[in-house]
């Protein structure tokens, strides 16, 4: 079946500038600890750089999760039943999707991503692989509740949220997001989610500061994007990529550190940074299996089955949106 043409668009003004991007950048650069939300790392160039990261030997999450999907796909298929609409949140390049679609009884596939351009490019290939599947891409910010297309309303929903993207959010927001997914998918639906686990700090740091410098490029690309889309003059070469462990929050943080005192402007506004000062660009929270279970429960998702690799590097959880009963 053909890919739907009518992508829903997010707000752009007449110059094609993403208003939310501009607001987030100007607000974030004005804060004491400068910060830009991680979602803005994923323009077309950033999404491609991220794909490159997943091929770096230090970045274990992608290979580990892929193996878990391959090894347990048949069981996932049995547990999720038939007449499914698979709704993938933050689908990106949809690399892992064929693995899942091969195993579950999907009639429709609804990839939801903030990068419409990337979405269009990657869903084309899937249409070739699964000619009988209805593919309905939605360009949307999945942090909010998404209205699913009317054409899939009679199907059972399986949410797919791989890659440990949930780790980008602080626990409070992670619970908000999982709740809003429950809202989007409804009672009786399932959620298959990948969550990166807490492990030795050295391995975590290496995964976010690879020897090839791909993660550094991915991070620095944000500055290039700001310059290009928001008329900035940030001297990108005077920044360096930092990956650091925040022990209180149990997360890897990515920062862009000024190597010297720097003045720059964005959208006509002036900003100054002292040497050593940073722009915080991403969090990647790490959870133990027990914490992951609690996170799901807190958002109304009942964990049904959890799979992980022998060294517990990564886990894949299948959860159900079951009716909430008040005790006892
Ligand atoms: C796509 C958010 C899961 O946090 O591991 C990888 C993003 N950033 N290397 C992660 C990322 C730097 C990735 N997620």
pLDDT digits (tens, 9 = 90+) for 47-67: 899 999 999 999 999 999 999
The rounded distance, in Å, linking the Cα atoms of 217 and 240 is 9
The β-bridge partners of 318 are 192, 305
Cα of 25 from ligand 1 centre, angstroms: 20
The rounded distance, in Å, linking the Cα atoms of 150 and 162 is 25
Q: Encoding tokens for residue 231?
A: 């008329």
pLDDT, tens only, 242-269: 999 999 999 999 999 999 999 999 999 9
Whole-number average pLDDT of the chain: 91
The rounded distance, in Å, linking the Cα atoms of 245 and 201 is 7
Residue 114 is given by DSSP the state S
pLDDT of 175 over the 90 cut: yes
Cα of 306 from ligand 1 centre, angstroms: 21
Q: Which atom number of ligand 1 is nearest to the Cα of residue 61?
A: 5
Q: Which atom number of ligand 1 is nearest to the Cα of residue 243?
A: 12
Contact 26, 269 (CB under 8 A): yes
Q: Residues lining ligand 1, judged by CB closer than 6 Å?
A: 53, 61, 163-165, 167-168, 208, 215, 282, 284
Say which residue the tokens 């990657």 belong to: 122
Angstrom CA distances, 292 to 96, 155, 289, 303, stand at 21, 28, 5, 9
Which band of pLDDT confidence, cut at 50, 70 and 90, is reported for residue 17?
A: low
Find how far residue 265's CA is from the centre of its chain.
Answer: 29
Residue identifier of the C-alpha nearest atom 3 of ligand 1: 165
Cα of 1 from ligand 1 centre, angstroms: 32
CA atoms within 13 A on the CB side of 97: 30
Q: Which residue has the higher pLDDT, 292 or 140?
A: 292
pLDDT of 183 over the 60 cut: yes
Mean pLDDT of 25-37: 98
Q: Which atom number of ligand 1 is nearest to the Cα of residue 92?
A: 1
Pocket test for ligand 1, best of 47, 60, 95, 163 (most atoms within 8 A of CB): 163
* Per-residue model confidence (pLDDT) at position 94: 67
The rounded distance, in Å, linking the Cα atoms of 195 and 198 is 10
Cα of 165 from ligand 1 centre, angstroms: 7
The rounded distance, in Å, linking the Cα atoms of 107 and 95 is 19
The rounded distance, in Å, linking the Cα atoms of 130 and 109 is 10
Cα of 263 from ligand 1 centre, angstroms: 29
pLDDT of 186 over the 80 cut: yes
Mean pLDDT of 4-27: 66
Q: Which atom number of ligand 1 is nearest to the Cα of residue 218?
A: 12
Strands 269-273 and 262-266, sheet pairing: antiparallel
Mean pLDDT of 161-181: 96
Q: Encoding tokens for residue 292?
A: 């992951």
Q: Which atom number of ligand 1 is nearest to the Cα of residue 284?
A: 4
Contact 197, 312 (CB under 8 A): yes
Letter string b/e over residues 59-79, b meaning 16 or more CB atoms within 10 A of that residue's CB: bbbbebbbebbeebbeebbeb
DSSP per residue, 291-304: HHHHHHHHTT-EEE
Which band of pLDDT confidence, cut at 50, 70 and 90, is reported for residue 325?
A: confident
Strands 106-113 and 134-135, sheet pairing: parallel
């Amino acid at each position: 079946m053909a890919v739907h043409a009518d992508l829903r668009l997010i707000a752009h003004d007449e110059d094609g500038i993403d208003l939310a991007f501009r607001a987030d950048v100007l607000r974030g650069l004005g804060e004491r600890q400068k910060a830009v939300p991680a979602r803005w790392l994923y323009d077309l160039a950033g999404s491609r750089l991220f794909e490159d990261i997943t091929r770096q030997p230090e970045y274990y999450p992608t290979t580990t999760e892929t193996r878990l999907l391959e090894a347990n796909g048949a069981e996932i298929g049995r547990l999720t039943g038939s007449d499914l609409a698979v709704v993938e949140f933050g689908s990106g390049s949809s690399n892992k999707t064929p693995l899942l679609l091969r195993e579950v009884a999907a009639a429709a596939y609804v990839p939801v991503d903030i990068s419409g351009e990337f979405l269009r490019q990657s869903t084309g290939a899937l249409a070739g692989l699964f000619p009988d599947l209805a593919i309905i891409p939605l360009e949307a910010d999945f942090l909010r509740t998404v209205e699913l297309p009317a054409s899939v309303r009679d199907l059972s929903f399986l949410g797919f949220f791989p890659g440990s993207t949930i780790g980008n959010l602080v626990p409070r927001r992670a619970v908000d997001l999982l709740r809003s997914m429950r809202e989007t998918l409804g009672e009786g639906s399932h959620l298959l989610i990948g969550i990166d686990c807490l492990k030795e700090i050295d391995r975590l740091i290496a995964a976010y500061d690879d020897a090839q410098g791909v993660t550094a490029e991915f991070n620095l690309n944000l500055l290039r994007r700001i310059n290009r889309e928001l008329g900035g003059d940030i001297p990108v070469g005077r920044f360096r990529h930092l990956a650091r462990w925040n022990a209180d929050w149990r997360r890897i943080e990515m920062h862009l550190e000024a190597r010297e005192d720097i003045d720059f402007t964005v959208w006509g506004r002036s900003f100054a940074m002292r040497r050593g000062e940073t722009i915080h660009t991403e969090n990647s929270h790490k959870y133990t299996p027990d914490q992951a279970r609690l996170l799901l429960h807190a958002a109304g998702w009942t964990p049904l089955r959890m799979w992980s690799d022998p060294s517990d590097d990564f886990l894949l959880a299948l959860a159900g949106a079951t009716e909430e009963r008040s005790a006892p």
